[in-house]
Structure 1
Amino acid sequence: MPADLPPLPDDAAMLAYLDAAAVLQGIPVDPAWRGDVLANMRAVAGAARAVLSFPLEDEAEPAPVFAA
């Protein structure tokens, strides 16, 4: 993993972000859901970290067509 990626935030920081984002967006978060939302945030942060750690050359271009 590249050294320039910051460490993942701890649970307290993620919960503080959850609280602030919920207020700013006007979304009520049931206290019973906080643990599940935190688990989801950890999973998304881990997935984003995996994507960001993948090395790409400067010349990399997106594919013009995606087909299976």
Structure 2
Amino acid sequence: MQGLLSWWDGVELWLSGLGFVLQTVIVMPVVLLLAYLIALVIDALLGNGIRLLRRLRHSDRRLR
């Protein structure tokens, strides 16, 4: 864990030493990729949750 934190500190120092435009060019693709992956996970979780609720609701109506 200490190695990862040390590496991250080096990357952070390197990135903070760059100009704003270069920081933006480097950081934005990473942030956009992370946001896209998080959106995919949330979409899948919500889709499966809604599908499960519909299945439960549909089976509940059969019992009546």
Relative to the length of structure 1, the TM-score reads: 0.38
Relative to the length of structure 2, the TM-score reads: 0.40
Structure number with larger C-alpha Rg: 2
| Larger relative contact order, structure 1 or 2 (CA cutoff 8 Å, min sep 6) | 1
From the two aligned structures, give the one with the greater helix fraction: 2
